[in-house]
Amino acid sequence: MSTDRLTQADKELWRSLAAAPVVAPGTASDLDFAAWLEGRLTEAEAARIEAAIASDPEMRRAALELAEVLGHERLPASPRLEARAKALVGFEVERAPARAGLFDWLFATNRRFVLQRVATLAAAVVISISGFMMGGGLGASFAQERQAGLSRPAAPPSAGDLSEFPFSDGT
């Protein structure tokens, strides 16, 4: 494709209309610019972006370059670039928060799981009290059993038991 239909006279006419430069007005956002490049904007929105592009040489260069790159097949990037970019975000295990224990969970100051935490605390109190009461009763019965065992007379040793000792009369 060439510019053969664009005559020198046309070019001169266009150039003769250019005057002194003035400071650029506001430009389009990245998203607006991307949407315009894809032809997704309404006519009015597109006209606003096109006015900005027409008045800003830097935006014009950007538009032409991006249209060129986006319209072509791309070669794979170097493995070095990929490796360096991947290393920017750490491994999940590094970012995982420290595991909170039951104690931390029960007495956490945040407002999450309040009902569950209250219920767990109440259950813990009930279990502790009932456990203490049961433990007291068990202790008394164990003491009684032990006392009864001590007061019982010892049984005489059987013959089998005596034969285990080596008797000697000096012979």
Binding site for another protein (CB under 8 A): 1-3, 5-6, 10-11, 13-15, 17-25, 30-35, 37-40, 46-48, 50-51, 53-58, 60-72, 74-78, 80-82, 84-86, 88-92, 95
Nearest CA to 157 out of 167, 165, 146 is that of: 165
Q: Which is nearer to another protein, 66 or 123 (CB)?
A: 66
Nearest CA to 148 out of 137, 140, 160, 159 is that of: 140
Residue type, 10: D
CB of 105 vs another protein, minimal distance in Å: 23
CB of 3 vs another protein, minimal distance in Å: 5
Q: Which is nearer to another protein, 61 or 105 (CB)?
A: 61
Q: How far apart are CA 142 and CA 145, in angstroms?
A: 5
Q: Which is nearer to another protein, 18 or 148 (CB)?
A: 18
Torsion, Cα of 126, 130, 135, 141 (10° steps): 180
- Rounded to whole angstroms, what are the CA distances from 56 to 13, 16, 21, 43, 137? 20, 18, 11, 20, 91
Q: Which is nearer to another protein, 45 or 117 (CB)?
A: 45
